[in-house]
Each structure stands twice: as C-alpha cells, then as structure tokens.
Amino acid sequence: GENVEQHPSTLSVQEGDSAVIKCTYSDSASNYFPWYKQELGKRPQLIIDIRSNVGEKKDQRIAVTLNKTAKHFSLHITETQPEDSAVYFCAASFTGGGNKLTFGTGTQLKVEL
C-alpha cells in the first residue's frame, strides 16, 4: 500500500518568513495530493490540493509543487502569519480506489512574532 513520509515534524519560523514542508510517497498510482491544516482539537481543513497532471498550484500565500518522477510534493507558505500556526498534514490518494487518503505524520508549524 501507499506510504507517505513528511518532514520536518516541527518547524518554527519568524513572522513574514517562508515555510516549506516536504512529503514523499511510494505508490506511483497515487494521483491526488491534498494538504490539510489542523488546529488543536478541530477537524482537518483542506487548504490546497494538486492532481498528478499538474506540477504546481498556487493560492495566494500558499503553493504546492509536485514532482511525479521523484514522488515528492511540497507545501510552500510565504509571508507567514501567526494564524498560520497549526499542524499541517500532507496526504496521497488514488482517486479510482475509493478516495482513500494516506496521511503523513504531520508538521507542527509555529510562527513566532
């Protein structure tokens, strides 16, 4: 089955700096890669996703890149703000197989003033 590795597990940045979180996946059949933000005690919230036919996607301060050959994808947050502090999860899925998400183990992002 699919295996997703996520790094780093914790990340501390100064407000206004950029943050990058990286994930690798093992199953070449995976074709959908969402990123979730989870605040303490709350449900994961989708912040951006990318499908395998696209190499990069951007939404305001958030961007995701995908390298299918190397089987890795990354989340980039620019101009970080304190409200970006949360746990971020990457995930991989093959949409033809029930939309099963395999999650990374999460990155605790702390944006310091």
Q: Which residues would be at the binding site for another protein (CB under 8 A)? A: 1, 6, 32, 34, 41-44, 46, 49, 89, 95-96, 98-106
Report, in angstroms and rounded to the nearest whole number, the Rg of the chain calculated over CA atoms: 13
CB of 52 to another protein, least distance (A): 12
DSSP assignment of 23-49 = EEE--TT--EEEEEEE-TTS--EEEEE
CB of 3 to another protein, least distance (A): 10
Q: Around Cβ 54, how many Cβ atoms within 10 Å?
A: 12
Measured from the CB atom, the residue of 60 and 99 that comes closer to another protein is 99
Measured from the CB atom, the residue of 32 and 78 that comes closer to another protein is 32
